[in-house]
């Protein structure tokens, strides 16, 4: 059974700092990995999607990497801002050898606070 | 584009009552999903559908039912509400389900008292 772990559970940084959020998964047979942002009381907003054949994806100040063989992904946020404060979730979609590829398995998230 | 729309946003139910959480998407996505999110527990899959007329159970289906009569709509039915069903419910959709993004609605916060 696929398990997704996110470390740390919470992170507090001063504004302007570069930071890395970690995501690990136990079954490397994945189709893709997706990073989401969730603001308090809100839904999930997709940030980046990395296909299993890709090593990284970039969007603005965000860069996500994927090392499928070691079961790890990182989300790098450059020059953090107070508006980046939110919970960040990663989710993996299983590849065909891992069973049904319809379902996302989520980590519990990292709560990020960027202090002005 | 509206994306994935869920109604209602908030609801309080009494134990034993029934209700339907509505979900509709306008992206012509084949796959739709219902998740629940509990504090400290992450998101758990309740039911999913790969197309109109086809549904299947996820990790935590007990106490829920779904139907998919159209591509756009995927309602979630709670028949006999229990306090354990107090949660935030999210509907999501994706195209084909393979190498494509999943898009989520804004959620329904349900309290059963």
Is there a contact between A108 and B50 if contact means CB atoms under 8 Å apart? no
Task: Specify whether the CB–CB gap between B93 and B102 falls below 8 A.
Answer: yes
pLDDT tens for chain B, residues 1 to 113: 679 999 999 999 999 999 999 999 999 999 999 999 998 888 999 999 989 999 999 999 999 999 999 999 999 999 899 999 999 999 999 987 566 788 999 999 999 99
B61 touches chain A (CB under 8 A): no
Could you tell me the two tokens for B109?
């916060």
3-state DSSP assignment of residue B45:
strand
Is there a contact between A44 and A50 (Cβ–Cβ < 8 Å)? no
Contact between chains at A103 and B48 (C-beta distance less than 8 A)? yes
Find chain B residues with C-beta within 8 A of A89's C-beta: 42-43
Nearest CA in chain A to B39: A108
């Amino acid at each position: 059974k696929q398990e997704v772990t996110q470390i740390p559970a919470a992170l507090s940084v001063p504004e302007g700092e570069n930071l890395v959020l970690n995501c690990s998964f136990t079954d490397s047979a994945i189709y893709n990995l997706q990073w989401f942002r969730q603001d308090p009381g809100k839904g999930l907003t997709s940030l980046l999607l990395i296909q299993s054949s890709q090593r990284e994806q970039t969007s603005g100040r965000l860069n996500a990497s994927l090392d499928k063989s070691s079961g790890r992904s990182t989300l790098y946020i450059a020059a953090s801002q107070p508006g980046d404060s939110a919970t960040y979730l990663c989710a993996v979609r299983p590849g065909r050898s891992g069973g049904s590829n319809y379902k996302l398995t989520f980590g519990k998230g990292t709560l990020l606070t960027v202090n002005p | 584009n509206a994306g994935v729309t869920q109604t209602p946003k908030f609801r309080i139910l009494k134990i034993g009552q029934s209700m339907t959480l509505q979900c509709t998407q306008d992206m012509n996505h084949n796959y739709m999903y219902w998740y629940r999110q509990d504090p400290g527990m992450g998101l758990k899959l309740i039911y999913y559908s790969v197309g109109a007329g086809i549904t299947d159970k996820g990790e935590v289906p007990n106490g829920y039912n779904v139907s998919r009569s159209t591509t756009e709509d995927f309602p979630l039915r709670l028949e006999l509400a229990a306090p354990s069903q107090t949660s935030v419910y999210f509907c999501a959709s994706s195209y084909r389900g393979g190498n494509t993004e999943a898009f989520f609605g804004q959620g329904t916060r349900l309290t059963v008292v």
